[in-house]
Amino acid sequence: MNLPARWNQLAPREKSLLGAALAVIALALVWQLMLAPSLRTLRAATAQGLALDAQLQHMQSLQAQAKALQKQAPLAYDDTLRALNQATKQTLGSTAQVSAVADRVNVTLQAARADALAQWLAQARVNARSTPLEARLTRMATPAGVTWSGTLVMTLPQRQ
């Protein structure tokens, strides 16, 4: 039987129930395909906006820090070497040895803690105004935490 003939054979009550069922199915489809994705996006937009704002603030603070570092006057060779030695003794202790060669400093690490190394690199950048030129490091996981061994080559200003 074809559909229009079957529809005409239905009682009015069946027609209204079937129409209501089709309307519910149509509304569910509209909800699933059009409204639900938009509402999910709207709900997630607030959290994404907050995350992007936090990321923007972090990037702006990094930018301000970089500009402040660029404005610092360069240190003399001896001052830079002294600052690197002091930072090494204070932060890395006996896990690092410093040796100066011309306009570079070789820092040899032996099982230096990861947090101490990160702190030392920050001190070297800010206090000694020295940055790594080369790094040959090996990461080791120990029960006490992650340690690093190897060598870092740091910059020094030209000796005058």
What per-residue confidence (pLDDT) applies to 109?
94
Q: Are 158 and 122 in contact (CB under 8 A)?
A: no
Q: What are the tokens at 83?
A: 């600052």
- In which domain, by residue range, is 100 found? 77-155
Q: Who contacts 87 (Cβ-Cβ below 8 Å, separation ≥6)?
A: 120, 123, 124, 127, 128
Tens digits of residue pLDDT in 27-77:
999 888 888 888 888 889 989 999 999 999 999 999 998 898 788 887 888
Identify the pLDDT of residue 1. 63
> Among 17, 38, 71, which residue terminates a domain?
71
- Considering the domain architecture, whether residues 128 and 97 belong to the same structural domain is answered as yes
Please write the tens of the pLDDT for every residue from 83-142: 999 999 999 999 999 998 888 899 999 999 999 999 999 998 888 888 899 999 999 998
pLDDT for 145 = 87
